[in-house]
Amino acid sequence: MTTYLIKNATVVRTDTDADAAGVVEDILIVDGKIAALGAQLSVENTDNTEIIDGTGKLVFPGVVDAHQHWGIYNPLAQDSRTESRASAQGGVTTALTYMRTGQYYLNKGGPYADFFPEVLAAAESNSYVDYAFHLAPMSRQHIGEIGDLAARQGVTSFKIFMFYGSHGLHGRSTSQSDFLMIPEDERYDIAHFEFVMRGIQRAREEHPDLAPYISLSLHCETAEIMSAYTALVEQEGKLSGLAAYSASRPQHSEGLAVTIASYLADETGLPNINLLHLSSAKALRAAMTMAEAFPAVNFRREVTIGHLLADIDTAGGLGAKVNPPIRPREDVEALWEHLLAGNIDWVVSDHACCKDEVKFGEDRTDVFAAKSGFGGTEYLLPGLITEGRKRGLSLRRIAELTATNPADRYGLPGKGRIAVGLDADLAIVDPDRTWTVRAQDSESTQEYTPFEGFELTAAVTDTFVRGQRVWSDGAILGEPTGRYLARPYRGDAQ
C-alpha cells in the first residue's frame, strides 16, 4: 500500500483535550493505519510515499453514515457499488445500512439464517467504503435469531418500524401481511415491539461482552394517527405536495410513538435505544421528556441532513418525499436549537436511492402516489459544515456528530476518530470552496435531488478508506475494496 504524508492540514480530532477548531499538524498513513500525528513529520524512504499538501484544508475523521438504505429500490449489488461511490464523494468511509425481510430489498421472507448470507454475498466486492448492516426482526422467528446474529454474524444493531403494522410505506394503507411477508397468524404491532425489545435484552444478557454494542433503533411514527390524518388531508383537498404529506403524518404522531417506545424500553429493561430521524419540535420535546422520565434508558437521538437543510418550501419538489416528512421551517429551526444545545447525538443522510422512474406515480404532482425516500449521503458532511458554521457549530462537534458518536454507539471503536493506530479513514475538506448542488454531478444513480440549487461552502476533496485513496479531484479512484464490518470492529486485520 502507498504511504501517505498529509502536511500542514487542520486536523479535527475529537479527543477530550483537542482544540474544537482543530490543530495544524501532519498525518502519516502506513499500511492503512494512522502511524503518526504531529508537527513537521517526515519519512526516511520517500520512494513509496505520496506527500499531500493540506495547507488551508480540514481533515475530518471519515464519516460514519449510520443510516442508509442500500437495495431498497434497486438491486443490492447495484446500490452497493453506485451508492458507495456517492458515499465516498461526500467523505463517508463507513455506511451502516438498514435491511429487513419483506417487500423491497430482497423481496422475500424467512429466517435471517437464510436471508442474511444472501445480503452479504450481494454486497461483497461491490462497495468503495466499509459497511455494516442493521437488521429488523419482523417475525417471532427473527426474535429468536437475535443472539446468533450478534454473536456469529457481527450484527449488533436492530430496528423497529413502528408504523408498518397498519399503514402503507408511501402514505396509503396496503395489505400488511403481504408487504411484511410474515406468517398470517402474526401481527407487527406494539406487542411485537415489546417482544423484540425483550429478545434484544436477552441477547445482551447472554453475550455480556457484546452488550455495550447491542442496541435497538426505532422509526417513531404512529400508524393509526397517520392513517386517519392521511384520509383527512386527502378528503379536504386543501393542501398539496410536501405540505400535504407533512400534514398527513403529523408531528404529534412522532411524539406519541417516541413515548410508547420509551415506556416499552423501560418496561423491558433494554437500555440502549436510538430514536431515528427525529423531524419535529414535538418529537424532540417527547424525546427529551422521556430521557428525564426514564433515566435508566441510554437514549441516542438522530436527525438527518435533509431535515436540517430543507423545509416544505425550499426542498426541490416531490423528490423530497421521505418518512418522516420534510417539515415546515419552524421544525427545522427547532432541530437546530436542539443540535446546538447538545441534544442530538449524530447526523445521518437516510440515503435511499430512488430513481425517477420509480419515485413518481403516473401523476407526478400526487405526493401520495410517489415513493418515500431519496439519496443525499454525498451532501451530509459538506451540508453540515456549511449550515453549522453559520450557526456557531464547532468543527469538533461536527466530527462527533458525523463520525465519533455513531461509531461508538454501533460497535465500531476502530472507526470514527483520528488517532494513532486506528484505521486511516479520513475526509479532506476545502472549507472555502463554494459550489451549487446539481444532481447530475453526483455519483449516485438518482437523477434528481431535493437539494438541487442549494449553495454549499465546503467540499470534500479527498477520501481515504483504511489508508486507500478512493476519492480525489472530483473522481472515484480504483476498484471497490470496502469490507463488511462484523461488530464490534476494532480495526483488527480481517
The whole-number pLDDT of residue 389 equals 97
What is the span of the domain harbouring residue 290? 62-420+433-455
Stretch (H or E) spanning 147: helix 140-153
Residue 92 sits at the vertex; the CA angle it makes with 435 and 386, to the nearest 5 degrees, is 35
SS3 state of residue 35? strand
Buried b (16+ CB within 10 A) or exposed e, 115-154: bbeebeebbeebbbbbbbbbbbbbbebbbebbbebbeebb
> Is 370 a domain residue?
yes
> Is 442 a domain residue?
yes
What lies within 8 Å, CB to CB, of 228 at 6+ separation is: none
Instruction: Give me the average pLDDT of each 10-residue run along the chain (494 residues).
Output: 95 90 96 96 85 98 98 98 98 98 94 98 98 98 98 98 78 64 91 98 98 98 94 96 98 98 98 98 98 98 98 97 98 98 98 96 93 97 98 98 98 97 98 98 98 98 98 97 97 61
> Is 8 a domain residue?
no
Q: What is the pTM of this model?
A: 0.97
The whole-number pLDDT of residue 46 equals 73
Question: Which one-letter amino acid corresponds to residue 427?
Answer: A
> Is 205 a domain residue?
yes
The whole-number pLDDT of residue 494 equals 41
> Is 22 a domain residue?
no
Which of 185, 95, 202 is closest to 139 using CA atoms? 185
> Is 469 a domain residue?
no
pLDDT in tens, 300-331: 999 999 999 999 999 999 999 999 999 999 99
The Cα–Cα gap between 319 and 449 comes to 7
> Is 28 a domain residue?
no
> Is 482 a domain residue?
no
The whole-number pLDDT of residue 16 equals 80
pLDDT in tens, 466-480: 999 999 999 999 999
Number of domains in the chain: 1
The Cα–Cα gap between 358 and 290 comes to 38
CATH code (residue 285):
3.20.20.140
The whole-number pLDDT of residue 44 equals 80
Stretch (H or E) spanning 303: strand 298-304
The whole-number pLDDT of residue 176 equals 55
Q: What sign results for the dihedral spanned by CA atoms 243, 313, 82, 494? A: negative
Grid cell of 430 as nine digits: 476545502
The whole-number pLDDT of residue 406 equals 98
